[in-house]
Chains A and B, each alone.
Chain A
């Protein structure tokens, strides 16, 4: 099977997908209610889309193609309001967070759809254990080669995005010590990690053809890379973020990605090199484990500093672009939180640390997401 051609898309257009948790309002454990929520949502007139995901206690909501932060925020807010109304009717709790704090993976069941059953047969328990919840952001690219430049350039910002979105310290009822433990579930898949270092689309097509000939992959969907090109949309898709606890934070992170993309596309500040990836997995691990406090090794200078400092420096570089895109104000708020070392994992740990039980914590997560508060 050959790779589809890279569709054209408006440069820097934006699309956001959020995988959400569906929980019971009795015990706040995950509950199989996706089908019912989807049925109720199908009758509503909302922007974007609501789709099933791998297991019956998750759904994916996505915005349409947006121009800027304001539009993303507006569409996500409309989706949140509609989902909340439907969920209240059905007695379901909806919340953000990269993992559910105490669910037992063996109790999950696969959503009844051929692709999900195929994946479940192939991956076995990994498929159920993959009940984790991420935010994906699509960025429109003017052409396929530009997409690959953006992909490799953006991969330097993976630790930043992990630390900003981290919201999964708890897995199976225990604090993992990680700021984002969700990504550990993703790494278990054989085709996870990063895209190969190729700079032109023809090289990428050749790589895909070789992989496809081995029979290991059939489509781009089989790759679980941190960032992957999506030829049918003409975008690159950034997939490392945990689903934040609020839609406002999800919108702010999307705005940050758009501003970085504009900076990369217009200034072309980086000379790409395969050696950039020498520090990639180390940096990513540090961000997952320690969040803002993690170490970040610069791919060229090999200078080490904290992820928080690195994020702060990046805000200075992209400031002009943020102003052009109209998202400087929200990025300012995000930066303020970075300076205070605040992310959703910190919010969760504060509560559980003060003695709140995990079911109560999930209840608060639901109130926070469904209530539509500030990030």
Chain B
């Protein structure tokens, strides 16, 4: 009798079934969060941690590496949308917004670096953590603002500052790591590498923007074809940028901002991309706990918590110091600072990338970042949501 027509026992289900179950569990955790009045992303982040090595162990860092493209693509999509919301005309008109952003970032960098140096993490780790701490999670911020359909001056600034934070954090970390590992042997390289890191994404961003605007003339961005074209464009960009050893995620952000600059018409996010993006965000969070193991979490807990605390003080201080001159009142400036708290998978990826290049250095860096992301990935979305509701910029949710 031919054995091949009957199933073997135990059933050889492979990796697909656990992924399916994990996906639905993550989605349900988000729904559970919503029912008790929390942002969905907090539920997703919690599910990710539970599914990772810390508790269930369904995913580990190898999975993160094999699904890396999905995660990169998700973040690229979100940064592209965030870029389209970044109105450069406004930043030119109201330079205080840029000043507020620069002040808040400088404060975060200096204070985080100072605090970590004081507790003796070593200069290299302190610098790298400080560069990552400058960032803010674009995935969480866009998800929470979309969930609330938030709109208003605080929301505008929150998203603009988030975009600038992401850009600066990505460049800063690449530069610092390069400097620390004396990649820049000789002054020519020391000069050329930063230039390459800055101009590369700018050029790539301009190319993506031009391609998008060209495609927009051929296909309606709201149609299936438009969606496919946009996805293809971002995938091509990721492929090209990784080959060029440039930060893959920066170019989509820059492309978005260029598009809004060139064509200020409302670029409304097609419904279908919203749906696709929503599912991808769940997948991303499902994997976000893969790098969180008990050993790392406890190794980094002390310094990580210190970094969280200092970063919180710096972001709040920066927002409150520069918010009022840019036209926000003190209450909304406070909300802005609180809203900038989330730190999530992008920070993990930044640290993970460092580890891939410099394993020894990465092993000292990652635990701290993991601890920060656990705290700020779970509590950050709650902070952002409460801040936006507090200043009454939500259009959905409890109405008063």
Contact = CB atoms under 8 A, between A and B. Distances in A.
A104 B399 CA distance: 13
Contacts of B152: 24, 31-33, 36
Q: Interface residue tally of chain B, by bracket?
A: 20 to 34
Contact of B266 (A31, A91, A112, A359): A359
Contact of A40 (B93, B327, B393): B327
A127 to B, nearest CB: 12
A29 B400 CA distance: 19
B274 to A, nearest CB: 13
Contact of A91 (B156, B392, B395): B156
Contact of A31 (B151, B328, B396, B399): B151
A89 B153 CA distance: 10
A110 interface: yes
The CB with the most chain B CB atoms within 10 A, among A89, A112, A357, is that of A89
A106 B396 CA distance: 9
B94 A89 contact: yes
Interface in B352-375: none
Interface residues of A, number: 29
A276 to B, nearest CB: 43
Contact of A107 (B90, B327, B329, B396): B396
A109 B394 CA distance: 9
B87 interface: yes
Dominant secondary structure of chain B at its interface with chain A: loop
A109 B400 contact: yes
B40 interface: no
Contacts of B151: 24, 26-27, 29, 31-32
A31 to B, nearest CB: 4
A28 B94 contact: no
Interface in A89-117: 89-92, 104, 106-107, 109-110, 112
A88 B327 CA distance: 11
Interface string B374-396: 00000000000000000011011
Interface in B238-273: 264-266, 268
The CB with the most chain B CB atoms within 10 A, among A26, A33, A35, is that of A26
Contacts of A104: 395
B392 A109 contact: yes
Nearest to B399: A109
Given A29-B151, A32-B151, A91 B328 contact: no
A39 interface: yes
22 contacts: A26-B85, A26-B156, A28-B266, A31-B152, A32-B152, A32-B392, A32-B395, A35-B329, A36-B327, A36-B329, A89-B94, A90-B153, A91-B87, A91-B153, A106-B399, A107-B395, A107-B396, A109-B392, A109-B399, A357-B268, A359-B268, A363-B266
> 5 closest Cβ contacts across the A-B interface?
A107-B395, A31-B151, A359-B266, A91-B90, A24-B151
Given A32-B393, A32-B395, A91-B156, 14 more contacts: A26-B151, A29-B151, A31-B152, A35-B329, A36-B153, A39-B329, A88-B90, A90-B153, A91-B87, A91-B94, A91-B153, A109-B400, A359-B266, A363-B266
Interface of B: 85, 87, 90, 93-94, 149, 151-153, 156, 264-266, 268, 327-329, 332, 392-393, 395-396, 399-400
